[in-house]
Amino acid sequence: QGKKALDAMNPLCTLRYSATHVDKHHMLYRLDAVDAYERELVKQIEVASLEVEGGQNKAYVKLLSTQNRQGSISAKIEIDVAQGRNVRRTVMTVEDGDDLEQETGRAIYENCRIGTITCGKNNQSMEISTPGKETVLHPGEEIGGVNPDEMKRLMIRRTIKEHLDKEMRFAEMKLPVKVLSLFFIDHVEFYRGRDEEGNTIKGKYGLMFEEEYRKLAKSPDYHTLFTKIDLDVEAEEVHEGYFAIDKKGGWQEPTRKANGDLADNAKNRENAERAYNLIMKDKEKLLSFDSKLKFIFSHSALREGWDNPNVFQICALRDIGTERERRQTIGRGLRLCVNQTGQRLRGFDINTLTVIATESYEQFAENLQKEIEKDTGIRFGIVEKHQFATVTITDEDGTARPLGVEKSEQLWNFLKEKDFVDNKGKIQDRLRTAIKEKKLKLPSEFSKQAGEIEAILRKLAGKLEIKNADERVTIRTREAVLESEEFKALWDRIKHKTTYRVEFDNDKLIEDCARAILDAPPITKTRAQFRKADIAIGKGGVETAETSQSGFTAINETDIELPDLLTDLQDKTHLTRASLGKILIESRRLNDFERNPQQFIEIATEAINRTKRLALVDGIRYQRIGDDYFYAQELFKQEELTGYLKNTLETRKSVFQRVVYDSAGVERKFAQDLENNEAVKVYAKLPGWFTVPTPLGTYNPDWAVLVENDGEEKLYFVVETKGSKWWDDLRHKEGAKIKCGEKHFAVLADTSNPAKYIKAINVADMLSYG
């Protein structure tokens, strides 16, 4: 209506001010989200993410979005998928008719199929068929998850705790600042409604809040806040709800489009206006200690132009819809706070907005960056041609002036010529590497401004953890070493192939597996934990830094359907059902299976497979196949070896011109010491194709080394390097493979002066075996 009225006035010019423009016109000035954050003109954001552990005991499916690409309609869902022996919650794309048991590899999704998917502009949905039921999901909705009321209660409790912690902190700092918290809820009646006689009654959220508020208020941590206060009365007076109010004085949910946005109709506008007037009338009172109201529940009315500088917590008890709605929701608490005299207080040490959410803080940061980019046009990680125009330069007479657009563009062209940025100004890994390694060299005319320019680029570059594909090189052999008599003698001692057989006692295996399950860690119920992280908004993007983790809270689940335990374990351990039945009975832990079926299956699988590895290694016997079965020396030339330059070391004694190392600590130092030690004549970092067969998969030893003592005695070694001498922990797969390698090389030691298979931390340790 306002736009129509303005158009009717036929103005010569219209100046529009907004933090979130829907329709963008000619931009005269912009103070964007990054500028505001870097100047500390808004609150710092931190996220307390509620994450569930061990909640994969039901057929969980959450609809994220639907899409139509060239007539092919699909849906993006979140679902629990079998990955190896464990279950992981992942995002996958599905289509009409997909069988979720096949897609996930889990029997718990038996007879679960995807039905019709809709992808209209304001209508996204997906049908899902489960045994005896058809369900339609909209974006953000789920089935098979943890009890939502349990999750909402935990979020309400955490919000109250964050609120009281800030009150305590401000009291210690002697800051007269009123703390407010804001809840966004999914349905009005969940907070407040009316009975048949028209009396106001509390909904489940209101009851949850008062119960949790009283519990926390009784905690010794907050006793100074509640001296001589009646908690029964206090709990009722500190919270209130503001909703769209109909003409009869009741509470009404606004009409929404299918995508979750508010419908733009007269009824919604009228209700919102009445709610808006009520909120604005009491807005100033909320900032005063004279008002006991501290916690505000809202459905959507607060999105219509309301914010309050002293909102320090925002808790989303409903799924936030569109990207613009998310930014507006967070925006309700970004303004800098004020004290009791109305004075604006600055600094992140005071101004921190805590968002309590169910998405991980990593997802929150990723989504926030996308929303800022889409809503404001900010391009993270982009160097603009005018980027350096305001850099200060000082003339010979001491006059300070800006570098200017022309010089800034000249500097931009230099960055492009050096492939530090692409044609659109997007920063390349080459620039990140130069900054990280302090090797960025600017043209000499900018030398005096180099520090300021590099600081700008560092902000724009963001995270510097990179591996540049341009640095990947092919490692060539060193012919003089490869064709030498020394290396041939070394190779002849280790090149032959073997086969193996395994013998073990089945009854002892069953007994040992049962004992391993009995000694395994306790099985926990499904539980939830808050992980807290600071969100930093910079020119390079939105980044996170985890600051704390809460303890775990158990969640009671009474509607779990127990899976077929023997079938699951048989698939994962390859033992017979009869053997598994004996193992489970003798373990005396079957009651734990009901406590958390999926966790029990994972722990029992790991315990059984570890025990199997011990039995296999103890009973393995290697045998040399014959003289015609060996790794030919020519393979060093035929098989290509590549590596990143930053993970290689130039050599003189190695069969390769560079050693590719996995560990910058142990392996790099070992190679360097081999080069420096005069007793070492030739060596090779054994390539990936040189393997020893084991029941647990192939094993690739680390090194082959020839040592000559005093020009006479020659010693041949196959060396396994690790950072610890605890080699015999065969519960780990790698340790079991090493033990198999030891038995393989023992079989090859049937000649005079054979190669010794040893395990060493460093070269000095290796030479002690001589």
Instruction: Return phi, psi of residue 576, to 5°.
Output: -75, 160
Question: Is residue 452 helix, strand or coil?
Answer: helix
Question: Exposed/middle/buried for 638, CB within 10 Å: 0-12, 13-18, 19+?
Answer: exposed
Q: Which of 436-450, 475-489, 671-685 has the lowest mean pLDDT?
A: 436-450
Give the span between the Cα atoms of 405 and 443, in whole angstroms.
17
Residue 747: its pLDDT value, please?
94
Q: Are 257 and 263 in contact (CB under 8 A)?
A: yes
Question: Is residue 144 helix, strand or coil?
Answer: coil
Local confidence band at 62 (pLDDT 50, 70, 90 cut-offs): very high
Local confidence band at 390 (pLDDT 50, 70, 90 cut-offs): confident
Q: Are 748 and 493 in contact (CB under 8 A)?
A: yes
Q: Are 94 and 74 in contact (CB under 8 A)?
A: yes
pLDDT at 323 exceeding the cut of 60: no
Residue 437: its pLDDT value, please?
79
Task: Give 618-683 as a 3 state SS string.
Answer: HHEEEEECCCCCECCCCHHHHCCEEEEHHHEEECCCECECEEECCCCCHHHHHHHHHHHCCCEEEE
Average pLDDT value for residue range 670-691: 93
How many C-alpha atoms does 411 have within 13 Å on its Cβ side?
A: 28
Residue 181 identity: S
Residue listed under structure tokens 């004279």: 290
Residue 456: its pLDDT value, please?
84
pLDDT tens, position by position, 335-347: 899 999 999 999 9
What is the sign, positive or negative, of the torsion defined by CA atoms of 58, 64, 70, 71?
A: positive
Strand partners, 487: none
Long-range CB contact pairs, 112-117, < 8 A, 24+? 112/59, 112/61, 114/75, 117/66, 117/73, 117/74, 117/75
Average pLDDT value for residue range 15-22: 73
Q: How far apart are the first and last CA of the chain?
A: 91
Q: Are 690 and 745 in contact (CB under 8 A)?
A: no
More confident residue, 631 or 433: 631
Average pLDDT value for residue range 174-181: 95
More confident residue, 208 or 187: 208
Class of the domain covering 471-497+625-767: alpha beta
More confident residue, 38 or 256: 38
Residue 274: its pLDDT value, please?
52
Give the span between the Cα atoms of 488 and 459, in whole angstroms.
54
pLDDT at 466 exceeding the cut of 50: no
Local confidence band at 96 (pLDDT 50, 70, 90 cut-offs): very high
Please, which residues have CB within 8 angstroms of residue 543's CB and are 6 or more apart in sequence? 365, 462, 463, 535, 536
Residue 465: its pLDDT value, please?
44
Give the span between the Cα atoms of 656 and 638, in whole angstroms.
13
Local confidence band at 161 (pLDDT 50, 70, 90 cut-offs): very high
Q: Which of 246-260, 335-349, 438-452, 729-743 has the lowest mean pLDDT?
A: 246-260
Residue 656: its pLDDT value, please?
95
pLDDT at 463 exceeding the cut of 70: no
pLDDT at 197 exceeding the cut of 50: yes
Residue 327: its pLDDT value, please?
60
pLDDT tens, position by position, 141-153: 889 888 888 999 9
Give the span between the Cα atoms of 307 and 288, in whole angstroms.
16
Kindly state the percentage of the chain with pLDDT values over 90.
40
Residue 730: its pLDDT value, please?
45
More confident residue, 120 or 181: 181
Q: Which of 19-23, 215-219, 401-405, 584-588 has the lowest mean pLDDT?
A: 19-23
Average pLDDT value for residue range 307-335: 74
DSSP 292-306: ---EEEESSGGGTT-
Give the span between the Cα atoms of 23 and 27, in whole angstroms.
11
Which range is most confident: 21-35, 264-278, 406-420? 406-420
Q: Considering the entire predicted model, what is its pTM?
A: 0.68
pLDDT at 271 exceeding the cut of 60: no
pLDDT at 15 exceeding the cut of 80: yes
Give the span between the Cα atoms of 340 and 318, in whole angstroms.
32
Average pLDDT value for residue range 523-527: 88
**How many residues comprise the chain?**
770
pLDDT at 728 exceeding the cut of 60: no
Average pLDDT value for residue range 13-25: 74
Q: Are 530 and 158 in contact (CB under 8 A)?
A: yes
Give the span between the Cα atoms of 728 and 738, in whole angstroms.
9
Give the span between the Cα atoms of 33 and 388, in whole angstroms.
20
Q: Where are the domains of the chain?
A: 59-143, 150-345, 392-461, 471-497+625-767, 504-527+556-620
Residue 87: its pLDDT value, please?
87
Average pLDDT value for residue range 487-493: 95
Residue 750: its pLDDT value, please?
82
pLDDT tens, position by position, 300-317: 644 444 568 999 999 988
Local confidence band at 646 (pLDDT 50, 70, 90 cut-offs): confident
Residue 487: its pLDDT value, please?
95
Residue 324: its pLDDT value, please?
53
Per-chain mean pLDDT for the chain: 84
Q: Are 317 and 156 in contact (CB under 8 A)?
A: yes
Q: Are 87 and 109 in contact (CB under 8 A)?
A: no
Average pLDDT value for residue range 511-518: 95
Local confidence band at 470 (pLDDT 50, 70, 90 cut-offs): very low
pLDDT at 467 exceeding the cut of 50: no
